[in-house]
Amino acid sequence: VEITAKGRGAAMSHHGITLTFSIANPAQACTLHGYPGLDETTDTGEVIHAERTPGGYMAQDADPEATVVVKSGHPAQAVAESVACGVFGKPDLKVVKTQVTPPNSTDTRTVDTSLDTCNLKIHPVTA
C-alpha cells in the first residue's frame, strides 16, 4: 500500500490532512478497515500519538468497522486533524517527522505533511 498526504487547509484553528492509501501493484487489491496509526515526532524527540476517533471538526463520523476494498483507481482515505496549540495557551511544537501506518499493518511510512500537535486525531479509513 502506498501512502500520500495532502493538506486540507485550516478553519477555526483546526488543521487537517487527507491520507490516501492506494495499491502499489495495479493487478492486486487489498482490504483495509479501522484506524490508521499516526505519530508525530517533535524536534525535542517527543512522540505524539493521534487519538482514534470516528469523526471531528474536519471529518464526519465514519464507521471504524467498515471494510474498504483498495484496488487500482479506488484508494481509501482517512482524515487526520489537530488544533493550533495557541488556542490552549501552549506553544506549537516543531514537528520533524510524521509517520503513518495503514490499518491492520505494521508497515509504517514517513509522509511529508504534518499537523499541529495539540488535539491530534485520526479517523477511520473510508472509500
pLDDT per residue rounded down to tens, the chain (127 residues): 999 999 998 888 999 999 999 998 989 999 999 999 999 999 999 999 999 999 999 999 999 999 999 999 999 999 999 999 998 999 989 999 999 999 999 999 999 999 999 999 999 999 9
Q: Which pLDDT score, from 0 to 100, does residue 103 have? A: 96
Domains of the chain listed by start with CATH number: 2-122 (2.60.40)
Name the percent of the chain in helix, strand, coil, to the closest 5. Answer: 5, 50, 45
Q: What per-residue confidence (pLDDT) applies to 11?
A: 87
- As separate numbers, helices (DSSP H) first and strands (DSSP E) second, the chain gives 0, 11
Other beta carbons within 10 Å of 81 = 24
Per-residue pLDDT, 9: 83
| Contact by Cβ (8 Å): 115, 51 | no
Nine-digit cell at 101?
A: 501506518
Residue 115 DSSP symbol? -
- In sequence order, the 6+-apart residues with CB closer than 8 A to the CB of 106 are none
